[in-house]
Chains A and B, each alone.
Chain A
Amino acid sequence: MAELPITTMVLVILGFVISGSLGAFAYFLPAFMTAFGATGQKSDIPVASATIVAATPTPAADAPFTVLLLGSDDDQKFDPDHVLTQSMILVRVEPAAKHVTMLSIPRDLWVPLSTGGSAKIDAAYAYGGPKAAIATVERDFHVHIDEYVWIGLRGLTRMIDLLGGVDVVTSNPVLDDFYPNDVDSRYPYGIKRVAVLPGPQHLNGKMALEYVRSRHSDLRGDFGRSFRQQQVLLALRAKTKYLSPADLPDLATVLNGEFKTSMELDRIRHLLPVARQVAPEAVTQIVLVGGYTSSEQIDGQYALVPIWARILPLVHQSFP
């Protein structure tokens, strides 16, 4: 048998390499597309923060940083570019210490907005997107925010379903006769009844959303909801420890259009092992309930007026 010329052999090997690369590229294409469209949204970071980020060298992988988590009702009732943030959670991640602090910001908090005037803090995102939400929180809470993550209602439910549900010890019977029937509904202004029974159980995306979103029959109102949101976030963290990079395309597919972040893929890659390593007892949960706000009617709306003299010292214990 005649020997193949070396150029032919090289071409054949190159062909296999290209073919294999194309296979890998095709597999990760959804993840690449989501990464391209949804991650690294640095233009959403306010100028002041961006300057700080740009002025400092690339942070070490184990340098602590602060993320603003934003969750929105993004059903048909709202203009997709002007949604309220029903959930705002400041998260301080200290990779070296393997410690995480979560601080829920009440959505009804009446504050000066970075875009001008005063309103409930959930309107900041509606008026100016992530940039305004970050700038508002930074200015009012005197903290520096490095990154943000935004997720829509459907994104949360799809992600939980993708992960096969989450295990949660639901704190009490969560009952709501006026729960918005706005997800996958033809009439988004309707209501439905919700009953999440108490105790350890496995929640799918829909049930988990009902658990974290219901607020009408909770003595603590939005504060109760904040506790529950943090609880489900921790349950999600517990589930993500089983994920591998091969799961990214599926995750990207379900989050398509329902997820945005300023974080680069590299930072997310560094963050995943940290999420796995942090023990549940190393997560400090803070909800501004009991003496940090007073409720008032402002411009005909129910609002919470912040008592900054109490809030700021608490916040600065964990957030620089």
Chain B
Amino acid sequence: MMRRGLTLTLIVLLAMVAFGVGVYARLASFKTRGVVAASPNAPLRVSPKFRLPGTMFLAQGGSIYRLQGGLFRQIATGNWTQPVLSPDHSQLVAVARFADESDLYLLDLNGNIIRQLTHNASRVVDFNHWSFYPRFSPDGQTLFYSWDPKNQDNLYRVDLVVYAMPLAGPQSRARAWTEPYFWTGGDVQPVPLRSGSLLYTKFDISDQTNQPYSRIWLTTRAGAVGKALTLPRDNCAQPALSPDETMLAMICTAGGQTGQLVVAPFNGTTLGPLRHLIDGQLCAAPAWSPDGTGLAYFAATGASGHFQLFYLAVPPAPSPSPSASTAASTSPKASATPSARPTPSPAPLVPIQVSYDLDFDATAAPAWSAG
């Protein structure tokens, strides 16, 4: 009888301990941190929810992934970002980024290094250089990129300048194309045109607001002053040119904390009215589909805020002729909603979320080919 009572007491005590542990575990289950700070998946572990045509190269967490036939494949690991395809789609150039410097490498489509193109490393910390935003010229012979020359008058000043070098090298033959505004961070995201001109993003600081802003800039030759294609108030950057060079996609922030996906017709020298495709969402890094009918881009989603891959079919512009103005003005903004609203297209645009639970590098636009 006494033994039975002891057993019963022990069971009750164990149940009490279990209850205490249960309360602890239950409270822990209310944490939202697991949602807010969710670790992203590696793309290898997930399948995209929408199958994009062709082949796409994307960067996440220092790796380059190839998305083809609805499957991700990791082709390079380490410190890689900003992959771009050669015009014949046979090679890649990507940035290998380290603590104090970054370099451009020529890779094959399986991520094997063919050649190191720039040599920016130095043992002296402030003698290192950065190379970012590589882009092939349309003939594939020249490589454009942003690089930080040392300023002998003031070592503290570091502004990126767009350079062009022969793909066959060496880096010593690289030539500066742009002249950045001092102390702004400089010129980035070059897009060479078939005409030999260059589109890029130029940063400046407003005299009125003392805030930095960016404009899409066009220059016809190395060293030329060039001209702005967008207005300061629109704060546009990340130009992406359609394959036929008639449409320009970009991200405009208008000084706010949203990245609006915007397109405008382009005739080689001027931009037409800007059309807001996606407003009220944090969009980044647009890239045209190989047939020029749609755009891939990244956008922050959910509590984690990680950037996922989206696709949007772009309807033809209602009036495609570019205006004669130097800098295009914005059409009235679509209202800020989570879903896309075109302006002035009557039917609402619906972006398709291609990836979930990933964490793409939003400073590295996807590289997309038909093959």
- Return chain B residues, CB-CB under 8 Å to A202: 300, 305-307, 359, 362
Task: Give 1 or 0 for each of B29-55: 1 = CB within 8 Å of chain A CB.
Answer: 111110111100000000000000000
Chain A residues within 8 Å of B38, by CB: 164
- Residue A153 interfacial (CB < 8 Å): no
Q: A239-B36, A247-B32 are in contact. Are A168 and B257 (CB under 8 A)?
A: yes
Determine if B224 is an interface residue (Cβ-Cβ < 8 Å). Answer: no
Contact, CB under 8 Å: B284 / A199: yes
Binds B, one of A79-87, A102-110, A127-135, A187-195: A187-195
Q: Is A167 an interface residue (CB 8 A)?
A: yes
- Are B33 and A200 closer than 8 Å at their CB atoms? no
Contact of A24 among B24, B130, B258 (CB under 8 A): B24
A287→B210 contact, CB < 8 A? yes
Label chain A's interface by main secondary structure.
mixed
Instruction: Give the distance in Å from the alpha carbon of A190 to the alpha carbon of B99 in the complex.
Output: 14
| Beta-carbon contact of A171 and B251 below 8 Å | no
What chain B residues lie within 8 Å of A12 (beta carbons)? 12
Q: Taking A169-B282, A199-B251, A202-B305 as contacts, is the C-beta distance between A175 and B185 under 8 angstroms?
A: yes
How many angstroms between the C-alpha atoms of A136 and B182 in the bound complex? Answer: 36
Central interface residue in A20, A161, A164, A175, by most chain B CB within 10 Å:
A164
Are B156 and A177 closer than 8 Å at their CB atoms? yes
Least CB distance from A138 to B in Å reads: 27
B188 within 8 A of A: yes
Which residues of chain B are within 8 angstroms of A164 by Cβ–Cβ distance?
33, 36-38, 304-305
- Contact indicator B126/A219 (Cβ below 8 Å): no
Q: Which residues of B contact A167 (CB under 8 A)?
A: 282, 300, 305
Question: With a CB–CB cut-off of 8 A, which chain A residues contact B130?
Answer: 175, 193, 195
Stretch in A53-61, A227-235, A269-277, A306-314 with 4+ CB within 8 Å of B: A227-235
- How far apart are A253's CB and chain B's nearest CB, in angstroms? 11
What residues of chain A lie closer than 8 Å to B303, measured between beta carbons?
242
**Contact string, A4-36, partner B, CB cutoff 8 A, digits 1/0?**
000000001001101110111011100000000
Q: Is the CB of B183 within 8 A of A217?
A: yes
> Which B residues are CB-close (under 8 A) to A162?
33, 37
Check if A201 is an interface residue, CB within 8 A of chain B: yes
B148 engages A199 (CB within 8 Å): no
Q: How many residues of B contact A (CB 8 A)?
A: 73
Residues from 192 to 247 in B contacting A, C-beta threshold 8 Å: 201, 203, 205, 210-212, 214, 237-238
Instruction: Write the nearest CB–CB distance from A265 to chain B, whole angstroms.
Output: 17
In the complex, the answer to whether B183 meets A218 with C-beta atoms within 8 Å is: yes
Query: Within the assembled complex, what's the spacing in Å between the Cα atoms of A174 and B185?
Result: 6
| Contact of B363 with A247 in the complex, beta carbons under 8 Å | no
Q: Of residues 71 to 107 in B, which have CB atoms within 8 Å of A's CB atoms?
A: 99-102
Is the C-beta of B6 less than 8 angstroms from some C-beta in chain A?
no
Given that A191-B125, A193-B100 are contacting pairs, would A280 and B159 also be in contact in the complex, using a CB cutoff of 8 Å? Answer: no
**Shortest Cβ distance from B359 into A: residue:** A202
B355 CB to closest chain A CB (Å) equals: 14
CB within 8 Å for A165 and B305 given contacts A197-B363, A198-B214, A234-B257: yes
Taking the complex as formed, is A250 at the interface, i.e. its CB lies under 8 A from any CB of chain B?
yes
- Tell me if A178 and B126 are in contact (CB < 8 A): yes
How many positions in chain A have a CB within 8 Å of any CB in the partner chain?
Answer: 63
Binds A, one of B15-23, B162-170, B337-345: B15-23
From residue A247, how far is it (CB to closest CB) to chain B in Å?
5
Query: Contact: A177 with B155, CB < 8 Å?
Result: yes
Q: Does A96 make an interface contact (CB < 8 A)?
A: no
Cβ-defined partner of A216 (8 Å) among B156, B203, B211: B156
Query: A244 CA to B38 CA in the complex, in Å?
Result: 15
Chain B residues in 8 Å Cβ range of A165: 37, 305
A242 touching B35 in the complex, CB below 8 Å, given contacts A197-B132, A199-B251, A200-B362: yes
Which residues of B sit under 8 angstroms from A28, Cβ to Cβ?
Answer: 27
CB atoms of B36 and A26 under 8 A apart: no
The reply to whether A26 and B33 form a contact with Cβ atoms under 8 Å apart is no
Complex interface: chain A residues within 8 A of B159 (CB): 173, 175, 217
Question: Do A19 and B185 contact each other (CB < 8 Å), given the known contacts A167-B300, A199-B362, A202-B300?
Answer: no
Please, which residue of chain B has its CB at the minimum distance from the CB of A190? B125
Tell me whether B160 is interfacial, beta carbon within 8 Å: yes
For residue B12, which residue of chain A has the nearest CB? Answer: A12
B158 in contact with A177 (CB, 8 Å): yes
Say which residue of A24, A168, A193 sits within 8 Å of B128 (CB atoms): A193
Once the chains are docked, how many angstroms separate the CA of A201 from the CA of B364?
Answer: 10
What residues on A are CB-neighbors of B134 within 8 Å? Answer: none
Question: Which residues on the B side are within 8 Å of A176 (C-beta)?
Answer: 158
Q: List the B side residues contacting A220 at CB < 8 Å.
A: 205, 210
With A19-B19, A23-B21, A167-B282 already in contact, the answer to whether A173 and B188 are too (CB < 8 A) is: yes
Give every chain A residue within 8 A of B36 (Cβ-Cβ).
Answer: 163-164, 239, 242-243
B160 proximity list for chain A (CB < 8 A):
173, 175
Shortest CB-to-CB span from A94 to chain B, Å, is 21
Return A70 CB to nearest CB of chain B, in Å. Answer: 24
Q: Is B371 an interface residue (CB 8 A)?
A: no
A16-B253 in contact (CB<8A): no
Residues of A within 8 A of B148 (CB): 175
Q: Which residues of B contact A24 (CB under 8 A)?
A: 23-24, 27
Check A27–B27 contact: CB distance below 8 A: yes
Which residues between 133 and 186 of chain A lie within 8 Å of chain B, taking CB atoms? Answer: 161-169, 171-178
B183 → chain A closest CB, angstroms: 4
Q: How near does chain B come to A134, taking the closest CB pair, in angstroms?
A: 28
Known contacts A24-B24, A172-B214, A192-B100; 16 additional CB pairs below 8 A are A15-B12, A19-B19, A22-B20, A169-B257, A172-B212, A173-B203, A178-B156, A193-B125, A200-B284, A200-B362, A219-B182, A219-B205, A227-B210, A242-B303, A250-B31, A289-B210
List B residues at the A interface (Cβ < 8 Å): 12-13, 15-17, 19-24, 27-33, 35-38, 99-102, 125-126, 128, 130, 132, 148, 155-160, 182-186, 188, 201, 203, 205, 210-212, 214, 237-238, 251, 253, 256-259, 282-285, 300, 303-307, 359, 361-363
The 14 sampled A-B contact pairs (Cβ below 8 Å) are A19-B17, A19-B19, A20-B19, A22-B20, A23-B23, A166-B305, A169-B257, A172-B185, A173-B188, A175-B160, A201-B363, A202-B300, A217-B158, A231-B257
